[in-house]
A and B are shown apart, each in its own frame.
Chain A
Amino acid sequence: GNSVTQMEGPVTLSEEAFLTINCTYTATGYPSLFWYVQYPGEGLQLLLKATKADDKGSNKGFEATYRKETTSFHLEKGSVQVSDSAVYFCALSPNAGGTSYGKLTFGQGTILTVHP
């Protein structure tokens, strides 16, 4: 079956530091890959996505590249802010063509805390 593994947290950084959160996956076929973010007291929000190999998703200064050869989708940001403190989830979904299209499999989440 499908699975997603994220680096263990929590991650604590100073403002303006570089962020990497590792994510690897196991899946049949060619899934779509996502990063979701959960800010304190709020629901899950899509941060970025990539639908095929070598695609780069980006949003709010965050980036992740779909690497099929290493089955990875690492999240990066060059300079984090205090407002980026949240829980980040890597996820995958089968692509169109099957009944499981859209169903998400999540990693366990990584807590990020950014200090001023």
Chain B
Amino acid sequence: DTGVSQNPRHKITKRGQNVTFRCDPISEHNRLYWYRQTLGQGPEFLTYFQNEAQLEKSRLLSDRFSAERPKGSFSTLEIQRTEQGDSAMYLCASIHSQPGGLEQYFGPGTRLTVT
């Protein structure tokens, strides 16, 4: 299967700890997106990359959040000093930024629980 993969699928951490999630997009897709989904809500945009460049960050993304895509392939999302409000599903999606390439392919998500 060559879809979008995310690791880990579940993460339980204590408040104040740092966590890092990984996303592996579909190999030929040059745009990669991170979203956050809380219970009963739709996904909310966090940030996206075109190749290795981070082109946009949401105001939802506080200074405790950082994302990288160092070689334009996989991406990591790190949350420092986690808070209970960070508990959510973190989704990654990829797309090829050519005309007509509108469908975003989503990974299964990483569910974060901060205790």
Contact = CB atoms under 8 A, between A and B. Distances in A.
A binds B: yes
Nearest to B45: A103
Interface residues of B, number: 26
Contacts of A51: 102
B104 interface: yes
A101 B40 CA distance: 26
Contact of A109 (B41, B91, B106, B109): B41
A99 B35 CA distance: 17
B74 interface: no
A61 interface: no
B106 A106 contact: no
Nearest to A6: B42
Contacts of A34: 102
Interface stretch (A11-19, A64-72, A77-85, A89-97): A89-97
A4 B45 CA distance: 13
A5 to B, nearest CB: 11
Interface in A47-74: 49, 51
Nearest to B102: A32
A45 B106 contact: yes
A43 interface: yes
Nearest to B47: A103
Interface string B50-91: 000001100000000000000000000000000000000001
Given A44-B43, A109-B42, A102 B108 contact: no
B24 to A, nearest CB: 14
**Interface extent on A, as a size class?**
20 to 34
A102 B106 contact: no
A27 interface: no
B112 interface: no
A113 to B, nearest CB: 15
Contacts of B56: 99-100, 103
Contacts of A102: 31, 33, 48, 95, 97, 101-102, 104
A108 B41 contact: yes
10 contacts: A4-B42, A34-B102, A44-B91, A51-B102, A102-B97, A102-B102, A103-B48, A105-B45, A109-B40, A109-B41
B28 interface: no
